[in-house]
Amino acid sequence: MTTQKIRRNCFSPFVVAAFLCLAVTACGTRSARAQGAVSTIRVETSQQLFATMCALDAAGFDANSNTLDIYPADAALRARLLQLHGPAVRAVRQFYAQHQFVSADETLSPFLSFALIAGPPPQFHYLISRDQIPPTVLSIDGFGEILGRFYVEAQLAREWATVEPEVDGEVARLSNPVRRVVLQSTGYLREIFTPIPGRTFTVLVEPLVGERVNFRNIGNHYTIIVGPGPVLPLGDIRHAFLHFILDPLTLEYQQDISTRRALLDIASRAPQLPQSYQDDFVGLFDECLVRAVELRMRKLPPARVESVLAANDKTGFILVRPIYQQLIAFEKASPAMSLYFPRLVNGINVAAVQKRFQNFAFASASEKIEAGGIRGENHRAVGDAQLNQQLMRGDRQIALQDGAGAAATFQGILNEHPNQPHALYGLALASALQGQGEKAQNLFERIVKSPAGAPGGAPSPNVLAWSHVYLGRIHDLQGGRKLAVSEYRAALNVNGAPEAARVAAEQGIHAPYRPAPKSSQ
């Protein structure tokens, strides 16, 4: 889970002592803005996030979307994005290549932050002043202009209309569970949640982010981005919401918390403690408080509780255990957490913690530690979903011009699924990338000649139309103009052919194909 360091907010703690039902608004971003919705807690979608993920997918980003098998519209969209052509697509791919890290999460992070502060398409102008823009977004400065051109060229307004009903269904599906998370969390803390103007908690639903759950706060706006699958990431949402509730309280009493700062010397010895906590004791305390509250709320059996506490100890979150013990006392008291909090802080015995960790062996940087189930349960798809993942991997390799890698991926698929049209098409493109023109031509011809009842299934309109286009281009390069025009016309006759393929076919009929100079690729 990605979390920005919490900042000082000029708000009083939630000084309340009862439990109140709270409505959670479920809506799409466009309708919420049109109606002037100002709900503090929302579940919604975002065209800015959608467009950003589309651009990354078109550039070959590995979104690790094992759950896309339950989102047919989004899965089909991803396949189309990877096969887009055009100057804006090339610009997106070049920009992505210049801002790609070894870690997919590190690559994704600034783009997600950009989507949270960008205005509506197609301009994507920032909604905040430049001096408020997070440094991580400044690291991809200029992306908004590139995204605007890509949005128009890729016709993302039309693509959004196609997937919006599917995503809206997930928004509705999440709304009641999120409401329960809010009620259970405020109930445990014995707090009445009082909305504060300008302070929001938003659950953004976007299937294209895959299984990753991303949580961050920019100023007073807390956002968790999810791509919910069969198992909803409610643990992650609860974790984020507890930060939303408890962060102001932790900051209000940061001077009291800082009296225990000596414990940071112990925690910082843990190789797995994130760098952001190495010199931020208040931030470390805040994260440990959230984890301890989560653990009490889950009501696990004693053996499982000890396992989670031990995992936190070994990874440097050494305050989870003592805060957990203080929460037992809190549950027996009557005040709300906002009133009880100073007592909780004062109850942490620094000397006892220091003694406990005097000769403690923290987990090494490479040691695998079960984090205690704080994150939502992952869902690993099987069967057709595995095939889709393999096909997407090959498409990404094609987008990144990795002909050899794509050939290996698609050939591996064909070894298990002979005559699979998408794999045949991918292998043809990979062959062309490697200069194996005759092999590419033979594969394209196999695709266009596949009967409707072929063992591997009929090719999709996208695969069929582009196969005709590429055959036409091959014939043009070989001097067979009549055969080329015949293939271009066949592409135009494909029912459901994508617009980009139709444009390419019409251009081929108008003039023989000539490859663009390499410098413009």
User: What number is the average pLDDT over the span 120-144?
Assistant: 89
Percent of residues in the chain assigned helix, strand, coil, to nearest 5:
60, 5, 35
Helix axes 234-252, 156-189, angle to 10 degrees: 60
User: What number is the average pLDDT over the span 312-323?
Assistant: 96
Helix (H) or strand (E) holding 41: strand 41-44
User: What number is the average pLDDT over the span 235-260?
Assistant: 93
**What's the pLDDT score for residue 82?**
85
pLDDT band at 142 (very low <50, low <70, confident <90, very high): very high
d(CA 203, CA 93): 29
Q: What average pLDDT does the structure give for the chain?
A: 83
**What's the pLDDT score for residue 471?**
95
* Helices of type H across 99-231: 104-117, 135-138, 143-153, 156-189
3-state SS, residue 320: helix
User: What number is the average pLDDT over the span 500-510?
Assistant: 90
d(CA 433, CA 399): 11
Res 502 pLDDT > 70: yes
User: What number is the average pLDDT over the span 83-88?
Assistant: 90
Highest mean pLDDT among 25-29, 376-380, 447-451: 447-451
User: What number is the average pLDDT over the span 445-466?
Assistant: 76
User: What number is the average pLDDT over the span 231-260?
Assistant: 92
- What does the pLDDT look like over 7-21, one tens digit per residue? 323 222 222 222 233
Say how many residues make up the chain. 521
**What's the pLDDT score for residue 34?**
32
Res 473 pLDDT > 90: yes
User: What number is the average pLDDT over the span 128-157?
Assistant: 91
Contact 434, 408 (CB under 8 A): no
Contact 77, 190 (CB under 8 A): no
d(CA 274, CA 279): 10
d(CA 63, CA 191): 38
Lowest mean pLDDT segment, chosen from 23-32, 267-276, 331-340: 23-32
Q: Which two tokens stand for residue 59?
A: 């550039």
More confident residue, 253 or 20: 253
**What's the pLDDT score for residue 444?**
93
More confident residue, 376 or 146: 146
Put simply, whether the predicted model's pTM sits higher than 0.85 gets the answer no
- What does the pLDDT look like over 401-435, one tens digit per residue? 888 988 998 998 888 788 888 889 999 999 988 98
Whether the CA torsion 85, 89, 90, 96 is positive or negative: it is negative
| CA dist 274 → 112, 213, 285, 422, 517 (Å) | 20, 17, 13, 42, 47
- What does the pLDDT look like over 339-352, one tens digit per residue? 999 999 999 999 99
d(CA 118, CA 134): 12
- What does the pLDDT look like over 102-113, one tens digit per residue? 778 888 989 999
CA 43 to chain centre: 16
Q: Domain 386-520 belongs to what topology?
A: 1.25.40
Please confirm whether the linkage preceding 87 is cis (ω < 30° from 0).
Answer: no
- Quote the Cα angle for 91-94-98, to 5°: 135
399-434 core/surface letters (b: 16 or more CB in 10 A; e: else): bbebbebbbebbeebbeebeebbbbbbbbbbbbbbe
**What's the pLDDT score for residue 207?**
87
**What are the domain boundaries of the chain?**
25-226, 253-356, 386-520
pLDDT band at 287 (very low <50, low <70, confident <90, very high): very high
Tally of CB atoms within 10 A around 226: 26
**What's the pLDDT score for residue 518?**
55
d(CA 346, CA 343): 5
**Residue that is written with structure tokens 């009493």 in the block:** 253
More confident residue, 481 or 454: 481
Widest distance between CA atoms in the chain: 88
254-281 core/surface letters (b: 16 or more CB in 10 A; e: else): eeebeebeebbebbeebebbeeebeebb
For 54-111, the DSSP string reads: HHHHHTT-----TTGGG-HHHHHHHHHHHT--SHHHHHHHHHHHHT--SSHHHHHHHH
Res 400 pLDDT > 80: no
**What's the pLDDT score for residue 22?**
42
Res 236 pLDDT > 80: yes
pLDDT band at 299 (very low <50, low <70, confident <90, very high): very high
**What's the pLDDT score for residue 454?**
53
| CA dist 118 → 10, 78, 121, 128, 223 (Å) | 25, 22, 9, 8, 14
pLDDT band at 78 (very low <50, low <70, confident <90, very high): confident
Q: Which residues lie across from 483 on neighbouring strands?
A: none
